Amino acid sequence: MSTAAAPARQLDPGSTAEINQAARALLAEFGTSATSPRLLERVAGTAASLGDGVRHHCRPVDTEDGLFVLRGLTVDDASAGPTPAGWASAGDSGAVHDLTLLLLATVMGNPIAWEGQQNGRFVHNIVPSPGHEAEQTGASSSVLLSPHTEDAFHPGRAHLLMLGCMRNHDRIATTAASIRRVRLSDEDVALLSRPVLPILPDDAYAQAQGYADEAPVPVPVLHTADEGLTLRFDPAYTPLEQAGEDWRAAYGRLEDELARVATAVSLDPGEVLVVDNDLVVHGRVPFTARYDGTDRWLKRASVRVPGRATRPPAEDAEHGYGQQALEAHVR
Ligand SMILES: [Fe+2]
């Protein structure tokens, strides 16, 4: 896997100061990063008042890598407090960084949350959690988190995924692979552009267990948008054994290509990885969690970009397995 440096955008000190001050003012006013309609409204107003420097650094992903690392923000390790033992106990840990991420997400588009994930919070804590080591969710550690599209099962999934680093003493890498870097034959692209198999909700959706009521919807893996190929990919939640041999072989070649072009991004505290969720699949290398308050800790935000035409129109009719994406701002 390549460890070539990911494209970076360095915030200037003025923009950094502006973001920090805005996040601190929001926390002082609300005392929590738990989202209420009033907080979201205030975030929207504050985000709209941020200067051109911040806005410029938050412009759309503009390389074939489909991602960038935003640099310049900082996290003070001591005042961040210990890495929470799980999202459920994280509460307001690192709350000012939640608000920082929410502000940046709002500059980039419309942040979303899920009723069935992390109590509907708009910024999630990604920390290893005892008992979940081998899952294919962000709470895992000991297994390779295989490359996937975030919330691939749902038509309301994010266009952009943001991972803000709070702590990463062991420099555990996030992996990323862009569909724009793979080489596939026209035949394979045609095969994988057909809706053959469904993608089912992942284990992080506690309330989705009742989705048996909803008939699984076959969806295409690849889509040719005006701007180029996009993908929707989550092998761990795709019943691959139900497909024919030719299709499975093409899917295998796509997996191999994604592995070939994958890069490893190891984030430092304060850095924010922004991934285009229509171009890039992301994952994580395995690691051994210590559960002593010093484990890797990321903040995650998901963003919809209004008007983005990167997906097949047929997605609009999907039921989403009873899950509802909550959008922060009505535009
Ligand atoms: Fe993910």
167 annotated to bind ligand: no
N-terminal to C-terminal alpha carbon distance within the chain: 41
In angstroms, rounded to a whole number, what is the distance separating the alpha carbons of residues 201 and 38? 30
Find the 149 Cα to ligand 1 centroid distance in Å.
7
For the segment 50-56, the average pLDDT, to the nearest whole number, is 97
- When comparing pLDDT for 129 and 203, which is higher? 129
Task: List the domain boundaries for the chain.
Answer: 8-327
Instruction: Kindly tell me if the per-residue pLDDT of 207 is higher than 60.
Output: no
Which pLDDT score is estimated for 116? 78
55 annotated to bind ligand: no
In angstroms, rounded to a whole number, what is the distance separating the alpha carbons of residues 59 and 160? 12
- Angle at which helices 95-108 and 37-49 cross, to 10°: 60
Vertex 108: Cα angle to 42 and 25 (nearest 5): 30
How many beta carbons lie within 10 A of that of residue 145, not counting itself?
20
Which pLDDT score is estimated for 211? 61
Parallel, antiparallel, or unpaired: how do β-strands 325-327 and 110-114 relate? antiparallel
Which pLDDT score is estimated for 117? 82
Mean pLDDT of the chain: 93
Band of pLDDT at residue 99, cut at 50, 70 and 90: very high
Band of pLDDT at residue 286, cut at 50, 70 and 90: very high
8-327 — its CATH code? 3.60.130.10
Band of pLDDT at residue 89, cut at 50, 70 and 90: confident
Find the 163 Cα to ligand 1 centroid distance in Å.
10
In angstroms, rounded to a whole number, what is the distance separating the alpha carbons of residues 205 and 91? 19
Band of pLDDT at residue 290, cut at 50, 70 and 90: very high
Find the 80 Cα to ligand 1 centroid distance in Å.
23
Instruction: Kindly tell me if the per-residue pLDDT of 264 is higher than 70.
Output: yes
Band of pLDDT at residue 45, cut at 50, 70 and 90: very high
For the segment 300-304, the average pLDDT, to the nearest whole number, is 97
For the segment 194-207, the average pLDDT, to the nearest whole number, is 82
276 alpha carbon, distance to own chain's centre = 9
Vertex 266: Cα angle to 265 and 270 (nearest 5): 115
Which pLDDT score is estimated for 243? 97
- Which distant-in-sequence residues (6+ apart) come within 8 Å of 158 by Cβ? 112, 150, 151, 277, 302, 303, 304
Q: Residue length, the chain?
A: 331
How many beta carbons lie within 10 A of that of residue 228, not counting itself?
13
> Is 66 within 8 Å of 180 (Cβ atoms)?
yes
Which pLDDT score is estimated for 331? 52
Find the 299 Cα to ligand 1 centroid distance in Å.
12
Give the dihedral sign, CA 202/208/213/214: negative
How many beta carbons lie within 10 A of that of residue 190, not counting itself?
13
Which pLDDT score is estimated for 212? 58
Find the 240 Cα to ligand 1 centroid distance in Å.
20
Which pLDDT score is estimated for 88? 86
174 annotated to bind ligand: yes
In angstroms, rounded to a whole number, what is the distance separating the alpha carbons of residues 308 and 148? 20
- Angle at which helices 95-108 and 13-30 cross, to 10°: 120
In angstroms, rounded to a whole number, what is the distance separating the alpha carbons of residues 267 and 171? 7
